[in-house]
Amino acid sequence: MNATSGADAREAAARETATGETAAGETAVYTHGHHESVLRSHRWRTAENSAAYLIGELHPGMRVLDVGCGPGTITADLARLVAPGGHVTAVDAAGDVLEQARTFVEERGLGDAVSFATADVHALDFPDDSFDVVHAHQVLQHVGDPVRALREMRRVCRPGGIVAARDADYAAMTWYPAVPGLDDWLDLYRRVARANGGEPDAGRHLRAWARQAGFTDVTSSATAWCFATPEETAWWSALWADRTQASAYASVATGGGHATAGDLTAVAEAWHAWGADPDAWFSVLNAEILCRV
């Protein structure tokens, strides 16, 4: 059981706000935005390829909060895994992507099992102990105060429940062949993400953040996405090339003085060159935590 109750967590959050101890980056900007190139990758995600570490903990009848649900592909899988009798509340900060998620879920006949709301993970509008499982996939790397976010996730999770989070670690990503332009991409992305108030290497921090948030029973693990077939590498390289030049990330990179349009074109060309190589291989390390409340 957690060392502190939901009431204690609320009091701690209030103290942090009063004393200025929270990160100023509670206003962190979502680095990727919701351009088609971003949602192209998000729609690929399923519970099997992105939340396998959590699947064994899910049972029929559970109440689940899916934080940062995006277009709803993982949400729909979670709803199936807690059926019959279960319910998923899916939240995201962006109302437009919530509408896409709603459509996706309804098309799969799961509309009665999922509800949607806009939300800020730093201040969730739910009572204490509302959910059996609180899940966040690739969220904590983008928030201004991940420890406070985890405290909020813990607050709304019932005693005996689980808070689950999974995040990539950009510095641990690796690929072949070595294309200098991809080194430039990684360096630029990490600078832009941090300038936005996020932490692109969040994966390695998850366990520490959870302990700082007051969790005492934390199981850590790691799994990887691997793109290795010609179809996979073509898909991965194309979406990153498009994202580099056309997404909100591109606007922030140039608007913030981190890169010129020419720099972004060179990075996009590097992505295309890498993706066309018959030996191309890319791995994304993802860290995971299961925190028992």
Q: Domains of the chain, with CATH numbers?
A: 36-292 (3.40.50.150)
Q: What's the average model confidence in pLDDT over 261-269?
A: 97
Confidence of residue 87 (pLDDT cuts 50, 70, 90): very high
Confidence of residue 31 (pLDDT cuts 50, 70, 90): confident
Residue 2 in this model has a pLDDT that exceeds 60:
no
pLDDT in tens, 59-77: 999 999 999 999 999 999 9
Residue 17 in this model has a pLDDT that exceeds 50:
no
State the pLDDT at residue 65: 98
Q: What is the pTM of this model?
A: 0.89
- 251 contacts: CB under 8 Å, gap ≥ 6: 33
Element (H, E) at 10: helix 6-19
Q: What's the average model confidence in pLDDT over 108-134?
A: 97
State the pLDDT at residue 37: 65
Residue 3 in this model has a pLDDT that exceeds 60:
no
State the pLDDT at residue 9: 39
> Which string of b and e fits 247-262 if b means at least 16 CB within 10 Å?
bbbbebbbeeebbeee
State the pLDDT at residue 248: 86
Distance between CA atoms of residues 6 and 14, nearest Å? 12
Confidence of residue 27 (pLDDT cuts 50, 70, 90): low
Confidence of residue 141 (pLDDT cuts 50, 70, 90): very high
Residue 41 in this model has a pLDDT that exceeds 80:
no
pLDDT in tens, 102-113: 999 999 999 999
Closest CA to 247 of 94, 66, 35: 35
Say how many C-beta atoms besides its own lie within 10 A of residue 138's C-beta.
21
**Tokens 């056309």 — which residue?**
246
**Is the pLDDT higher at 257 or at 21?**
257
Residue 21 in this model has a pLDDT that exceeds 90:
no
Q: Is 284 left (phi over 0), alpha (psi -120 to 50) or beta?
A: beta
Token reading at 23: 């990160």
**Tokens 């009091």 — which residue?**
11
Query: Is the CB of residue 116 less than 8 Å from the CB of residue 91?
Result: yes
Indicate the range of 4-18, 72-86, 231-245 predicted with least confidence: 4-18
State the pLDDT at residue 35: 72
Indicate the range of 28-32, 131-135, 199-203 predicted with least confidence: 28-32
Q: What's the average model confidence in pLDDT over 163-190?
A: 97
Q: What's the average model confidence in pLDDT over 208-235?
A: 98
Confidence of residue 8 (pLDDT cuts 50, 70, 90): very low
Q: Of how many residues is the chain composed?
A: 293
Distance between CA atoms of residues 245 and 269, nearest Å? 10
**Is the pLDDT higher at 118 or at 247?**
118
Distance between CA atoms of residues 113 and 121, nearest Å? 22
